[in-house]
Amino acid sequence: MTKIGFVLLVSILLFSGELCNCSYSYGQLKDNYYSTSCKDAESVMKKVIDAELDKDLAAAAGLIRLAYHDCFVEGCDGSILLEGSDTERSALINANLKGYEVIDAAKAAVEEICPGVVSCADIVQYAARDGTVKLNGSTWEVQGGRKDGRVSNAATAEANLPKPTDSATQLISAFVRRGLSTREMVVLSGSHTVGVGHCDKIVGRLYNFNSSYFTDPSIDSTYAESLKTQCPQNSDENTDTQVFMDTFTPGEFDAKYFNTLTERKGLFTSDQTLFEDARTKRSVTSLKSEGRFQKEFGQAMRAMGGVGVKSVGEIRKTCGAVNSNGLK
């Protein structure tokens, strides 16, 4: 990279917010990474993950979200899995994450055949792919080679993960800081096609929105009234009540999420802004194509899977705790 190009890149990152403490060198990641060190690793993981999802299919969407929440904080290093009173896992923003037990089961299975070889960080990425396929979504080749991190902090998670109230500008900035494009941000948002939101994160759009509008005017009026029946104002149950984010085919991994946005039925501000903002509107419209979305989703997941990959770390014995003997 030329000196001018480097200065320009740094200027862009500084303008968009604080620099992410991540490395964007993906050279250590490879397709078929475990083909020699643990040749049956992928098939064993898939068998276990499928069996776990047969017991609780709702965890499939959770596995996709788990990968995203892992990569956006300390990089894709399995830090989201670490247990403790002040870890990312304990952060309020991660309170509704699902799929930990699936990761633990997959880890236990590969430890039986190849102890100390397969990282928890890699398992998170394989599980996200297998969860997508289980929901009738596309597949992609997952790269392996990540090391597990030893740092996990709740406050860092709260500071780095995008919020349901974020604007397109904030979302673009968050993804650019991690080496991901605006287009990839919109594509990855398409995973909300199998997502749910909780009423307590929605009521701010439905009631007393601002001094000019009681309800957010970017919401389709009929949809807004439907949401109000599900999420009453000041209800004690709003923290537990769930609403599907895809109004067309909830629970199916397809491109209908983008139809939801073009009809102004995005559940969160961070959803609907993708159609309202000129920088992302064309991507939303083009991704209504099923084939295009399915193809690009796998590509975007591979790109996200390279964020903040560590060359120094460990291979945890169990995913919920760091090894007692230090780095490996």
Residues with a known catalytic role = 69
* Structure token pair of residue 2: 């030329």
Whose CA is closest to 122, among 67, 83, 161? 67
Can you tell me which residue has the tokens 């939101």? 197
How many other β-carbons are positioned within 10 Å of the β-carbon of residue 289? 13
Closest CA to 322 of 151, 123, 97, 110: 151
75 is in an annotated binding site: yes
| Inter-CA distances, 19 with 3, 16, 23, 175, 178, Å | 19, 8, 11, 11, 9
Q: Give the Cα-Cα-Cα angle 73, 74, 76 (nearest 5 degrees).
A: 95
Percentages (nearest 5) of helix, strand, coil residues in the chain: 50, 5, 45
Task: Report the alpha-carbon distance of residue 254 to residue 279 in Å, rounded.
Answer: 23
Q: What angle do CA 316, 83, 130 make, to 5 degrees?
A: 65
- CA-to-CA distance for 274 and 268, rounded, in angstroms? 10
User: Is 9 strand, coil or helix?
Assistant: helix
DSSP secondary structure string for all residues of 228-253: HHHS-TT-TTTTT-EEES-SSSTTS-
Is 250 annotated for ligand binding?
A: no
Residue 280, annotated as binding a ligand = no
Task: Please tell me whether 254 is known to bind a ligand.
Answer: yes
CA 287/CA 266 separation, integer angstroms: 15
- Whether 54 has a binding-site annotation, put simply, is no
70 annotated as belonging to a binding site for a ligand: yes
- Is 23 annotated in a binding site? The answer is no
122 appears as a binding residue in the annotation: no
Q: How far apart are CA 276 and CA 173, in angstroms?
A: 17
- The answer to whether the annotation marks 198 as part of a ligand binding site is no
192 is in an annotated binding site: yes
Please give the C-alpha separations between residue 99 and each of 44, 89, 103, in angstroms, as whole numbers.
17, 12, 7
Positive or negative: CA dihedral 150, 176, 155, 236:
negative
- Which residues contribute to the annotated binding site? 70, 73, 75, 77, 79, 88, 162, 192-193, 246, 249, 254
- Which residues contribute to the annotated binding site for substrate? 162
- Which residues contribute to the annotated binding site for heme b? 192
- Which residues contribute to the annotated binding site for Ca(2+)? 70, 73, 75, 77, 79, 88, 193, 246, 249, 254
